[in-house]
């Protein structure tokens, strides 16, 4: 028995695997600033969400599962379920939800309005900070308010990553629309 996967579905699956790989590569870019490092994985999570929509949550889930089963894809090359007991557990576990929420800003078509994308990005950043604060408080001996204060020190980095992801996503959308306009419709018989 073979699965009939259309070429467009196959391309979509490959893109999701590529996004998960980019998230993993982004985690290797580490700027140590305390218990939780600044990485580029959130840049790629937001970029995937802005390009793929809520479906980006599947790429974030794939990334998370790859790390939990032992592939060294977490910040600093860490791997395994020990992440669940570290200071970044809340952040990592929220990535699929963050990607889904940020992806809602994209809308039904290939792009969303700027205000819609910005609203979804800020809401998903708030979700990331909430979940990250819960994990940081639980696993690093801080109360929630102190953990949230730690998160706010990352706001300039995260806002810059979101802005850059939005700019890159708009360029990708323009290129996609140009390439789709150049494609000739296929004849079916």
Choose between 121 and 33: higher pLDDT.
Answer: 121
Question: What is the distance between the alpha carbons of residues 129 and 112, in angstroms, rounded to a whole number?
Answer: 24
pLDDT tens for each residue of 66-115: 999 999 999 878 899 998 898 889 999 999 999 999 999 886 555 557 88
Domains in the chain, CATH or no CATH each: 9-166 (1.10.1760.20)
pLDDT tens for each residue of 15-74: 999 999 999 999 998 888 766 678 999 999 999 999 999 999 999 999 999 999 999 999
Measured CA to CA in angstroms, residue 167 lies from 42, 54, 170, 172 at distances of: 15, 18, 5, 9
pLDDT of residue 2: 57
- Of residues 146, 141, 148, 113, the one with CA closest to residue 127: 148
Percent of the chain with pLDDT over 90: 62
- pLDDT for 182 beyond 80: no
Q: Is the dihedral of CA 115, 62, 65, 80 positive or negative?
A: negative
- Of residues 136, 188, 180, the one with CA closest to residue 11: 180
Question: What is the distance between the alpha carbons of residues 139 and 125, in angstroms, rounded to a whole number?
Answer: 21
Which residues does 139 contact at the CB level (< 8 Å), separation at least 6? 85, 86, 87, 89, 90
pLDDT of residue 109: 52
Per-residue pLDDT band at 144 (split at 50, 70, 90): very high
Retrieve residue 170's tokens: 């708009």
Contact 136, 94 (CB under 8 A): no
The 3-class SS string of 107-129 reads CCCCCCCHHHHHHHHHHHHHHHH
CA Rg value for the chain: 18
Measured CA to CA in angstroms, residue 35 lies from 71, 106, 156 at distances of: 22, 33, 17
Question: What is the distance between the alpha carbons of residues 173 and 181, in angstroms, rounded to a whole number?
Answer: 12
């Amino acid at each position: 028995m073979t699965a009939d996967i259309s070429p467009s579905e196959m391309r979509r699956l490959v893109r999701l695997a590529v996004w998960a790989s980019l998230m993993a590569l982004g985690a290797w870019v580490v700027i140590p600033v305390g218990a939780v490092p600044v990485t580029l994985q959130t840049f790629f999570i937001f970029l995937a969400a802005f390009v793929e929509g809520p479906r980006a949550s599947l790429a974030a889930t794939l990334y998370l599962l790859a790390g939990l089963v032992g592939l060294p894809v977490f910040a600093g090359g860490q791997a395994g379920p020990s992440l669940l007991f570290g200071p970044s557990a809340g952040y990592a576990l929220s990535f699929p939800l963050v990607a889904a929420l940020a992806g809602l800003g994209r809308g039904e078509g290939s792009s969303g309005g700027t205000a819609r994308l910005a609203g979804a990005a800020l809401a998903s950043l708030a979700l990331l900070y909430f979940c990250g604060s819960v994990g940081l408080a639980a696993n690093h001996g801080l109360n929630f308010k102190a953990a949230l204060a730690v998160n706010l020190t990352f706001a300039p980095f995260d806002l810059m990553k979101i802005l850059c992801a939005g700019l890159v996503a708009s360029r990708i959308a323009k290129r996609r629309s140009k390439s789709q306009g150049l494609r000739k419709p296929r004849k079916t018989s």
